[in-house]
Amino acid sequence: MVSKKRHSPWIWIPNLCAAEEIPFAVVTYVALLMFLQFGSDETMASIYSGLLFLPWVMKSYLRSKVRNAGFFKRHIHIAEGMIFLCLMGIAVYLTEFRVRDWGLFIFMFVLSLLCAWHELIARMYYNRMLYPRQQELYNKTKMLSSQMTLIVTYGVLIIIAGFFEVFFRSYQKAWAMESSLVAGGFLLFLLLNFITLQNPRIHNPYRYESLIGAFKNEMHVIERIKEKPNVARVIFSIIILLLPQALLFNTRVFFLMAPATNGGLDCSVQDVGFAQGTIGVVAFSLGIGLGRLLNEKLGEMKTFWPMVIVLTLSPLFYMLMSQNPLVGNIVALCCMTSLAQFCFGFGLNVCLVFVHFISGNRYRNTINYLYVPMIAGAMIVPLMASGWLSQLLTYDTYFLVLTCMAPIIWLVLLCCKTQKVLTNNELANVDNKE
């Protein structure tokens, strides 16, 4: 007889969220630092980093295959086991072989595929285990668990990797030890999930579906989107809105780690981990939380322009740092990066309006199935090109250009009447529900 406490959502939700976020942080942030230290220039590091987002763009198109499989608990265990093996494979590769950046990319791409698969299964498991009213109760627990895991993985582990680099006097040994630590931490949550997860209340009968068949089943979403009025205008608006963020995503790390002679701040791995991975992630989380609170209190359309303005102004703080580089000033570095991250987190909430326009009433949980793929899809091409552009221009010019994009973006959104189109869509959805 299994105790109720063992299966309490207060226990398995934090464990499941931690198992999602640890490898995700490795793919989206740690990998970029490793590419730079293992021989990639800024151009190739950006290309590798951009390609790692492809699984997240495509994951929603395989939703029907995962749903039809039905055995969410079993697939979670399989996915987590494979993620652990991949993390250990990275540690062994760094320890025993001559590391090439392309070899490291292959490991990271496999890890990204597994992360996207695991995230999709875990969210379906969450929806199957809890009724909608229960999800409202536990959503804050889920969000807090995810953010705390990101702070530890982005910040603390990066700082530890910097200490390992000093101790071993070798960045290869340092990252090998770091990868082993990440794999060990992930193994802990894998075991906890194996113990605490239970079978969903309702089981779907297994129905085999090929990957091609699953992809075709989800393609009708695109047809529905095409039928919406002014859809091209809205998609163009979201691409333009996220353009500065995509161009900033990798180059902020390049700028922090570049030598002072090249216009950078000459930061160590510890500095980057503390300023951007710890303080910055905390500020990012606060920005997301405040933005969601305002959306709930005031409504998404009333906060549309404030969030657009704040989001597009986040490159301003890197422009100020590049114009007046205070090399070695960790206090100024933390202040400026945290302000930029806060603006990014706060303004990113505006993307939910675009998600609701695209999804209509199709998905109950639009954030899980459309939010990340839409943002990743809008950012992937400029993200891959950002390294080449940052090398073509000096950092102060590059960040100045990104900052000057803000009024152009505002003008584009005004000319496209984006807010009016989104408002009409919101009113239409309300009428349909009634």
Residues 187 and 248 in one domain: no
Residues 1 and 130 in one domain: yes
Which pLDDT does position 56 carry in this prediction? 82
Checking 95-104 for CB contacts under 8 A at 24+ apart, the result is 95/173, 95/176, 99/38, 99/172, 100/38, 100/39, 101/35, 101/38, 101/39, 101/40, 101/44, 101/45, 101/48, 104/31, 104/34, 104/35, 104/38
Number of domains in the chain: 2
Alpha-carbon torsion (182, 185, 188, 194), positive or negative: negative
Q: Which domain holds residue 301?
A: 219-434
Q: Can you tell me the distance from the alpha carbon of 230 to that of 420, in angstroms, rounded to the nearest whole number? A: 11
Residues 185 and 228 in one domain: no
What's the farthest any 2 CA atoms get from each other in the chain?
66
Which pLDDT does position 2 carry in this prediction? 41
Residue 152 is assigned to a structural domain of this protein: yes
Residue 211 is assigned to a structural domain of this protein: no
Pick out the chain residues at pLDDT < 50: 1-6, 363-368, 430-434
Residue 368: CA atoms inside 13 Å, Cβ hemisphere, count? 21
Which pLDDT does position 89 carry in this prediction? 94
Which pLDDT does position 339 carry in this prediction? 94
Which pLDDT does position 7 carry in this prediction? 62
Residue 340 is assigned to a structural domain of this protein: yes
Which pLDDT does position 69 carry in this prediction? 62
Give the pair of three-digit tokens for residue 378.
């809008």
Which pLDDT does position 83 carry in this prediction? 95
Residue 268 is assigned to a structural domain of this protein: yes
The pLDDT tens digits of the residues spanning 56-69 come to 877 766 666 666 66
Which pLDDT does position 60 carry in this prediction? 67
Q: Can you tell me the distance from the alpha carbon of 398 to that of 402, in angstroms, rounded to the nearest whole number? A: 6
CATH number, domain at 132? 1.20.1250.20
Write down the pTM of the prediction: 0.85
Residues 290 and 158 in one domain: no
Which pLDDT does position 226 carry in this prediction? 64
Which pLDDT does position 131 carry in this prediction? 73
Which pLDDT does position 160 carry in this prediction? 81
Which pLDDT does position 137 carry in this prediction? 76
Residues 364 and 251 in one domain: yes
Which pLDDT does position 395 carry in this prediction? 92
